[in-house]
Structure 1
């Protein structure tokens, strides 16, 4: 089955018009020709269309693989699987697929993107050789419409360490120029992606003590939609903005435990627990090596020792995750964070979807750890913060105010 035939089959099955199927990813006219196999479509555009219509990517790949797996020059199947693994942060699959792509008849651009995707997922951006960095920069921004391409934006978001300060300033200004006038009209996921790019840009400037950048970025971020998903982004933005003012006044530096700030000093726990199909051990390790004793220890610290059966490490987690409660899913993510043993834990609305008891139980687990906790939340149990000696700050009129 061709890609066009498979897309048409899925569209008909879901009872969608062509305009509804494309969901704004590409034009309806272009899509119509794709269904008739008169036009090609990028792997990323397929991924976006399937995702927006809740169509299973793995099942779609199975539909088309007989047609394309025997065609060496056509990389659509490999690229789709790589993008899927990238969005799932599946390190093992990304490594395997990148190796296949490097050994295949893929184009130079496809091979470079695959290298960048693996470096993103495995956190090895700083290990990319200088010559390859130059080629990656070229292919990422060679098209005038790169600011509209979500895969390019996502890769840029996680690859800023390979760019110079002047390069970052240039590309960030292009993004702000493009989206500032109609940011509120973009879909939620696009808004969050652009906001994440801006926050990462500010972070890179912080660790390099660079103060010379467009102040519009603060206005852009502070005026993000007023919802829980953006509260941590706003907190980071206001904190960095106030730091920028103070650093200019004092010409000082920021240290954490006497050292320069570094990503390896912190671990981030988001609002929505991210788990994938596989064993609990797989979900905890994420491709890294840990002993079973270490894994069982963090499960115990997260209060899961007696809740996951006799062989918890080999228990399978299903995509729907219906066999785990919301509190258990969040505690698994906490166990994963504790396993990394970082001195700083960043919490982003981690109890937003939980009831009061589960929220308090999870906070007790984290507050009991000998770590620095930085939490952003709309609802806080101030009795707990006082019990553990935490300071509380509130955002009022775009400023951080101590809630004494």
Structure 2
């Protein structure tokens, strides 16, 4: 069974027209050709389509025969589901997902299982004992610099909190040197997210040795609509760094404007977290 055939099966089981099923994701004419296997849907659109119609990513991919296309989509869907579970603080769903991956025959399952274990590790409270062996395994996978790629950039970005500012900067510098001129949006987004995390860690550790290099590197990546949030966050941290050295109130006002714009965009909790960063710096 193909992806298009399975989408059609789900759509018909819900009693929906093609327009209703694909509404807001892809055009009806394009989706019609997906069902007929005349067009290939992107991984991003497929995931949006399944979420739009309340179809479990895992259930969908379990029904597909294991082929090259399926392996790509399945791996991506599991990563998306793991990230979603983490941001909803759903530890049980992460643990179930890990069990399913461990019992599956999908390629690179060990790497995927390790990544999910990392998300579970991130959810530990401060009074829980860290899994040092797990963190070391993640470090070995991330810090294999000669083979650093987009997947490793994203993995590194997700688990930077496990490691020191110095070791994180060493890895980030290699990635920046390799990819700062890349035109690929996914690469640019990953680099900006890594830079954002490092700026935050620098402020938290009161260590500003690397901030000039990080801000200069961020400026080399051109602004695109899909990179706006990352650019806003870098501007936020740049103003906090300026305030640290100059103590001019205008820098704090700029930070508050950025925080308010993020709240107005619907990211209320993120805005509150940034206000917490401001409060810690100025107390």
Q: TM-score, normalised by structure 2?
A: 0.59
The counterpart of 2:206, out of the listed 209, 223, 239, is 209
- In the TM superposition, residue 268 of structure 1 has moved relative to its aligned partner by 10
Equivalent residues in 2 for 1:362-373, closer than 5 Å = none
- Asked if the contact 1:157/1:196 (under 8 Å) is kept, the reply is yes
Question: Which sections of structure 2, spanning at least 5 residues, go unmatched?
Answer: 8-25, 248-258, 279-283
- Note if contact 1:198-1:217 (Cα within 8 Å) is conserved in structure 2: yes
| Distance in 2 of aligned mates of 1:241 and 1:90 | 34
- Seen in structure 2, the aligned counterparts of structure 1 residues 147 and 114 have a Cα distance that, compared at 3 Å, is same
> Does the CA contact (< 8 Å) of 1:95 and 1:118 recur in 2?
yes
| Structure 1 position 236, deviation (Å) | 1.3
Larger Rg: 1
Map 1:345-364 → 2, pairs under 5 A = 345-346=272-273
Judging by fraction of residues, say which structure has more helix: 2
3-state DSSP class of the match of 1:144? helix
Deviation at 1:190? 4.4
Q: How well do the aligned residues superpose, as a CA RMSD in angstroms?
A: 4.6
- The 1:142/1:180 distance shift into structure 2, 3 A limit, reads closer
What is the match of residue 98 of structure 2? 98
Query: What secondary structure does 1:131 align onto?
Result: helix
Corresponding position of 2:148: 146
1:239 Cα deviation after fit: 2.3
Deviation at 1:83, TM superposition (A): 1.5
Residues 66 and 180 (structure 1 numbering): CA distance in 2 closer, same or farther, change over 3 Å?
A: closer
Alignment of structure 1 residues 214-363 onto 2, 5 Å:
215-222=212-219, 224-225=222-223, 229=229, 230-240=231-241, 243=244, 245=245, 270=262, 330=266, 334=268, 337=269, 345-346=272-273
Task: Map 1:45-64 onto structure 2 (within 5 A).
Answer: 49-52=42-45, 54-56=48-50, 58=55, 61-64=58-61
Matches within 5 A, 1:61-80: 61-67=58-64
Q: Relative contact order (C-alpha < 8 Å, sep 6+): which is higher? A: 1
2:178 maps to which residue? 178
- Residue in structure 2 matched with residue 254 of structure 1 by the alignment: none
Deviation at 1:116, TM superposition (A): 0.9
